[in-house]
A and B are shown apart, each in its own frame.
Chain A
C-alpha cells in the first residue's frame, strides 16, 4: 500500500453522544505537506472528528493511522507525542503569563524555566514562518490575532508536524486572515500537514489543496480544490443545489426610529466598552454592524435594550411624534413607555431564552406580566407557539419540549419568532445566523427583510462580512468601542470595511 504518503488516515470513525450520532463511519486522509480544508455546516461533526484526532474524545469505533502506523490516542498528550497539535476555536491561554511562558507551559523539564532558550526557539519559529510575536508580551495585552499566533507557535514548539486549526478566521479581520494564510502556506512549504476547519467557502478555495466535506456526521467526499467552485462545494455540503444570493429589497420613505447620541458604556471590568457612539437607525433599512469580536457590540446592544447602564449620552426612541430618551431606564420601564423594541441577543439560550423551559414558557418571557392576577396564563402563548411552528416551519416534537433540545436553527426561529410577534419598531439582532445551517440562515435573512419591508428599523450585528455586505443598506463599523465609520456597502469593498475594523488601532500605532 502507498499508505505512507498520508500523514493521517482515519477510517470508519464513529462517535455518538447519547442518541446523537456526531460521526458515522467517517474516513479522512491527510497527505503529507498539504493543506486540507474540512468543510461542513455547523453540526456536521467537523470539530468532533478533529477532537478525536487530538485526543479529547475517544472514538466508539474506527481506526486512526499516523504516518501509516495504527495508533490509539487517549489523551491530548498522546496526540502531542504523535506530532498532532490542535488550535482550538476558543483559546486556552493563561492571561497573566507572557507568550513565552504560555508556550512552554506544561512541557517536561526542571522547575527552573530557561527563558532565554525558550525565547530563542520562539524567535526561530517566528522567523521561519513569518509570525510577528513579542515573546515577552502578556496575553491580556494581546489582540485576538496575536493570541492565535501564540496558540500556533505553542503547538509548533512542541514539534507538531500535523496541525489542526478549528475555524481560525472566525475572530480575524480579512487582512489578518490573509496573513494567517500566508503563514499556513509557509508551513506547508516546510513539509507540515495542515487541516483547517471552516465553513467559509472563499477561504477553502483560497488556501487549501483538497477539501473534505462532511454532512450531518457523514463523510461525503474529498475533492481537489482546483476542480471546485463555491457552487459545487455548497451543493456537496448541503446536499442539493441552493441559491447563494441574499436579497436586498429597496424600501421607500425611511424614517428615523432610533437615534443614539454620544453613547458611552462601561463593561463589567470597568473598561469603556462603548465610546461616544453616535448613529441613527431608520425604519425600512437594515443597518449592519461590523467589527472584530469584542469591540463593544454586546454592550452597545444591551445598552439600547436597557440591560446595560450607559454612563453618558442618550438613546432616543421614536414614540408617537416625538423621541423619548431611555438612558437610565430599566427594561420594564422601557416596556411601559410603549416602546416596542425587539432584541435577539447573541447568547440565545443564556439570555434570550431559557433552555430547560418549553416553548410556551419561553413565549411568556415577554408577555407573562400582561395577564392580570397572580396566575400565569399559558393558553394565549400556546396559540402563539402553534402559529409560529406553522409559519416559521419550526421542527419540534411539540410546544412542551424544552427548547434546549431543538436544533440551533429552530432555537433561533423560536427566539426571533417571539420577538417579531410583538410587532417591533426596532429589531436588533446579534449574530443571528451563528451556528445555523445554510437553509436556516436564509430563512432568517428572509424574516429580517420582511421586517424591513414592514418599516421596522433592523440593526444586524454580524461577523460574516460577506453576508453583511450583501444584506445591509448601510454598515456601521465599530472598532474598540468607537464608531469608526458608516459606509454604504454598494459603494465600498470588503477590504475597506476591514480597514475600518482596525482603524483606531492603526492610528494609535502611528501616533506612538
Chain B
C-alpha cells in the first residue's frame, strides 16, 4: 500500500484560471516574447552568429528608415484586411481556411479586368486627358475583386447550410483550385508577358495601378477605414449581433428566429469579399501584376493574426503590423549573411511563443506540494 497522500501527488497539474486581469495577461505575453528572443538568441549562438547584431538588423529591416517602414506597411495591408475577413467568419464559428484562395480569386478577377481593358482605357485617357478612365478602371477592378472573392466564399457556405458539409476541408481545397488556376492563366496568350516563353502574367498598364499616398499605395487608407467599419459592424449592428449569436449557438439562433443559413451566406460573402479586396490591393497596388505569389501565404498568416487578436479588428491592426515587421525583418536578414531559412526559424519561434502563451493565460500549473491558497 502507498504511504502518504501528499507524497504521491502528481508532479505538476493544470488548472483552469477563473479569470485573469488584463495586466497580468500582458505580463505573461511579455515574458513569452522575452522567452522567444532568448531561445532565438541561443539558436543564433549555436550557429555562430552574434544574436544582438542579428536582432538589431531585424529591427532595422522592419523600421530602420522610410523605405523599410513603407515595405512593412505594404506587407501589413493585405494581412490586416484578410484577417478582418477571416474574423467575420470565425466569429460565427465558420472555419474559413480559404482566405488564400479568396485572395487569389479576387486578384484574378481584378487582373482579368486590367488585362482585357487596360489598353483601351489607357488610350481613352491619353485622348481625353481626364482622370475618369483611371478611376473607372480601378473601380471596375475593385468591384470585380470583391464580387469574385465574395462568391468564392459563398460556395462553401451554400454547401454547409444545405448539406452540412465541413467548411474547413472545403475552403482549404478551394485554395488549391485558385492557385492552379493562376498557374494556368500564366500560360494563356492573352495574359502572358510578350516576347518570352516564361509563363508569367504581364505587367498592367499604369492606368490599372493604384495611386500612392505618402509613398505607399492607397490600400493602407482602405485598411484603416475597414478596421473602424468592421469594428462597428461586429459590435453595433443587427448583422453583427446575429453573427455573434450564430457563432455561440445555432440552436439559440433558431430559437431567436434568426435564419442561420442566411447569416452564413451573407457573412461568408463579406468574408470572401474582404479577402478578394486584399488580393486586388496586391495585384493593383503592390505588384502591378498577378503571380503565383499574390497570396503568398497571407491567407494563412492572417488566421494567426485574427486568432491572436481574438477577432477584434483594432487589435488586429497592431498584430498585423507586428507580424509584417517580423516578416520584413527576416527578409532583410537574408541579405546580411544569415540564411533566410534561419531567419524564418526565428519568426517561427516568436510566433510559437506568442500563441503558446495563450495557454498560460487560460491555465496555470500547480506543482507538487504547492497549495492553491498560495496562488
- Give me the interface of A with B, judged by CB distance under 8 Å: 14, 16-20, 58-64, 69-72, 74, 305, 307, 330-332, 335, 343, 345, 347, 350-357, 361, 364-366, 368-369, 371, 374-376
Contacts and interface: CB of A to CB of B under 8 A. Distances in A.
A376 B237 contact: yes
A376 B249 contact: no
B245 interface: yes
B49 interface: no
Contact of A369 (B5, B16, B257): B257
Contacts of B19: 18-19
- Most A-side CB within 10 Å, residue of B1, B15, B17: B1
A361 B251 CA distance: 16
Given A305-B255, A307-B254, A350-B251, 18 more contacts: A17-B18, A58-B9, A58-B10, A58-B13, A60-B372, A70-B1, A71-B2, A332-B259, A335-B257, A343-B255, A351-B252, A354-B245, A354-B248, A356-B248, A357-B248, A371-B238, A375-B236, A376-B241
B241 A361 contact: yes
Given A20-B18, A354-B245, A365 B9 contact: no
Interface string B250-273: 011011110100000000000000
A351 B10 CA distance: 39
Given A60-B372, A375-B238, A351 B245 contact: no
Contacts of A345: 255
B371 interface: yes
Nearest to A306: B257
B310 interface: no
Contact of B18 (A18, A70, A375, A376): A18
B5 A374 contact: no
B21 to A, nearest CB: 13
Contact of B8 (A60, A72, A343): A72
A331 B248 contact: no
Interface of B: 1-6, 8-10, 13, 15-19, 236-241, 244-245, 248-249, 251-252, 254-257, 259, 371-372
A72 B249 contact: no
A70 B2 contact: yes
Closest 4 CB pairs of A and B: A18-B18, A72-B8, A332-B257, A19-B18
Nearest to A18: B18
8 contacts: A61-B6, A72-B5, A305-B255, A330-B257, A332-B257, A356-B248, A357-B245, A366-B256
A374 B239 contact: yes
A239 B254 CA distance: 41
Contacts of B238: 368-369, 371, 374-376
B244 A352 contact: no
A489 to B, nearest CB: 30
Contacts of A343: 255
Given A70-B4, A351-B249, A354-B245, A331 B372 contact: no
Contacts of A63: 5
Contacts of B255: 305, 307, 331, 343, 345, 351-352, 365
A305 B257 CA distance: 10
A58 B15 CA distance: 11
Nearest to A345: B255
A69 B3 CA distance: 9
A365 B252 contact: yes
Given A331-B254, A352-B252, A354-B252, A74 B17 contact: no
B237 A375 contact: yes
Nearest to B16: A18
Contacts of A351: 249, 251-252, 255
A70 B3 contact: yes
Contacts of A20: 18
Nearest to A355: B248
B10 A350 contact: no
Nearest to A364: B241
A126 to B, nearest CB: 33
Contacts of B3: 70
Nearest to B8: A72
Nearest to B240: A376
A376 B236 contact: yes
Nearest to B4: A70
Given A58-B13, A376-B241, A350 B249 contact: yes
A58 B19 CA distance: 22
B363 to A, nearest CB: 10
Contacts of A60: 371-372
A6 to B, nearest CB: 16
Nearest to B251: A351
A16 B19 CA distance: 14
Contact of B371 (A19, A61, A374): A61
A53 to B, nearest CB: 13
A331 B241 contact: no
Contacts of A353: 252
B3 to A, nearest CB: 7
Contacts of A357: 244-245, 248
A374 B249 CA distance: 22
B4 to A, nearest CB: 6
Nearest to B242: A368
Contacts of B252: 350-354, 365
A361 B249 contact: no
Contact of B372 (A16, A354, A376): A16
Contacts of A74: 8, 10
A217 to B, nearest CB: 13
A331 B256 contact: yes
B248 to A, nearest CB: 4
A217 B128 CA distance: 84
- Most A-side CB within 10 Å, residue of B244, B249, B255: B255
Nearest to B1: A69
Contacts of A61: 6, 371
B15 A70 contact: no
